[in-house]
Structure 1
Amino acid sequence: MRLLLLLLMLTITLLSSVSSFTASVSVQYPKEVILGSKISINFSLTQQEINSTAFPFITAGVREISEEPLILEGAGIAGSFAVFKINNSSQVVVITFIGKDNTSPGWNPGIVVYGGNFNPHVSDLSQGDFTAVLITFTGRLWVHTPSKGWFTLSCSLPSIAPQRDGWINATKPFNYTAILEDVNGSIFVNYVILNGEKYIVDYQTPIPWNFTYVGVRIDPSTVTVCGFYVTIPSPHQPYVVYVNGKEYTKGYTNSLGEGSVSLTISSPSMVVNISFPSAHVFRVITISAQRDANIHVEYPILQYALLGVSVVLVAISIIWRKRL
C-alpha cells in the first residue's frame, strides 16, 4: 500500500512537471563566428497560444491553392484575411508569421489584429464598425477605426523584399514577428523582427487593446503560410546559462520574457545551454568557429520516461493487490 501511494505521488509530481511543457524558448544568435570574437545571444521564454495554419475564418472567395503548405490567393478580393479568434487577457502578445508572399506595392498583406464589432465572415473592406492594427509585409503600419476607416501611421517598417518590376515577391520563406503591448489600454507596437533583425517601431496606436481576432491579412496577394504562432511572454523567470557544461551566468527575464548573454568564442567548438528550471525547458546552441553556427533543440524526455515507468508500476501494484 505504501508503495502504491509513493508511486501515485510520483505520478502526480511528474504530471505537474510535464504540464508546464507548453513553455518554449526562442533564440537569436549570429550566423557566423570567428575564434576570439565576442557575440551576443538573445533569448526569450514564452507560453504558446496558437501554433497552427488551420485558420477557422478565411474570407469567402479566397482560393486555397495548397493545403500543405497552406497557400492562399486573394483572387482579387481586397480586404481578405485568414484569422483565429483569441481570448486576449495578457498585456503582451507576440505574433509570428513564417512563409512567403507575392504582392503588389499597392496591396497590404501582413500581420493583423481585429477588434470591436469585427465580422469574420466578410472582408474588412465590406464592413466598417471595427478596430484593427495591420503590420504589412511591405513596410507600413495601418490602423482602422469605425470613424476614420483605414489610415497609415508609419511607412518606415521593414519590407520582406525589394520591389522589382512592380511586384514585391519573397521567393524564400521569411520570418516576421510583431510584438504588441497593452499601454494605457491601447495597442503599442513595440518592435518587429524580420529574419532575426530587430527593428524598433515604438508607436502608440489609438486602437483599444481588446482585440478578438488575430491572423494574416491577405488582400488580393498570394500568401504561403508555413507557420503561424501567437505566444505570450513569460516575464521575470529565472534562467541559467551553461557554457561547455559549466555555469556561466544566471538571471531573470525582463517584462517581455527576454534575456541575453554575451560571451567570447574562446575555443573552436562551444556548447551553450540556456535553461529555465522552473519551466523545465532549455535550448542548446552548438557554436563552431570553423563553420556556420548550428542550433538544435534537446527535449527533456527524462520526465516522460519516468512518468511511463511510474504508470506501469502503479498498474502492476493494483493487479498484485487484487490477487491477494
Structure 2
Amino acid sequence: MEGKPLAELLSSFRANVETVLLGKRESIDLAIASFIAGGHVLLEDVPGTGKTTLARALSSGISGTFRRIQFTSDLLPQDITGMHILDADRKSFVFSPGPLFANVVLADEINRGNPRAQSALLEAMSERQVTVDNRTYPLPEPFLVIATQNPYEQHGTFPLPESQLDRFNLRLRLSYPDRGSERQLIRENNLLTMRDGIPASMRPEQVRALRAEVDRVTVHDAVVDYIQRLAAATRAHPAVRLGASPRGAIGLKSTSQALALLSGRDHATPGDVRRAAVPVLCHRVFPKGDAAGSEAAQAILEEVLSVVPSPL
C-alpha cells in the first residue's frame, strides 16, 4: 500500500468492494464517489439486498472503524452521541463516546428513530461533531453515515424531515442482484460464512488525500451552468412542491467530480452530471399531492434530464 498512486488505490478499493457486493458496479461507484466527495448515503431498499455489506466493506476497505446503530422508537440522543459519566477515581465527569465516533456509521432503519434521535444524528452529519452537555466533540475523519430505510414498511416509523433528507448526498436502491450474481451468492455462501469485510486498500489519511484530489477535478463553466439549470428546472416543474436545494446542486457537482476521478479523468463531464443527477437529487425533489413518493420524483428528474439541453 505504501507508495502506490492514489488512482491505483482507488481502483483497488472499488475492485475489493465488488468481491462482496456482486453485480452492483453502478451502485458501488456512486457510493464510493459520495464517500470520497464527503457526502452521506441513504439506502432505501428491502432487507437482505446488501446494505450492511456495503457499509462494512467501505469501512474495512479503508482500515477504518465501523459501528452500527439500530434505530428504534425509544432510542435516546445520548445512545448515539455518548454521554458524560462519573469517574469515581478522578472525581469528575468524563466523556464516554457513543457509536457515532467511527469512520463509517450504519444507521439502520433510521426512519424508526424518534425525532430527537434523528436530530442528534443531523448535527453529526452536518457539522462532523456532536454536542453533549454544551461541550463539542469532533468526529473522526473521514466520517460517513450510511442510513437505511425500508420503503414499504411504514408502521411505527417517523418519516425523515426535508431538512434531514437534504443532508444526505445521495439516495441509492441496491435492488435484487441479477440472476448470475444471485446464483454465485447462493453457491458460495451460507448464513455462517457470509463475509462482508474486505482487505484494506488504503488508510484513512489517504481517503483525506483523495478528497483533496476531488476538489482539484476541473468543472468547466458550461458544466456548472448545466448543473444550475437542472436544479432550477426541478423548482419550476409544475408537478413539484419543493425542488432541489442549492446544497443538492453543490452535491451534484462534487459527486460528478468524484465520478470523474474514479474514471481516471481530471475534469467532470456532462455525462458525469447525468449519471449522478437522479441519485443526488431524487430525495430532494418533493412532488405535489397524491404523486408524492420516490418513484414520482425519479420520473420528474428523468423528464428534466430529457428536456434540459446538455453542453457538448
Structure with the larger helix share: 2
Name the TM-score, length of structure 1 as normaliser: 0.27
* Greater relative CO, 1 or 2 (CA 8 Å, sep 6+): 1
Structure with the larger strand share: 1
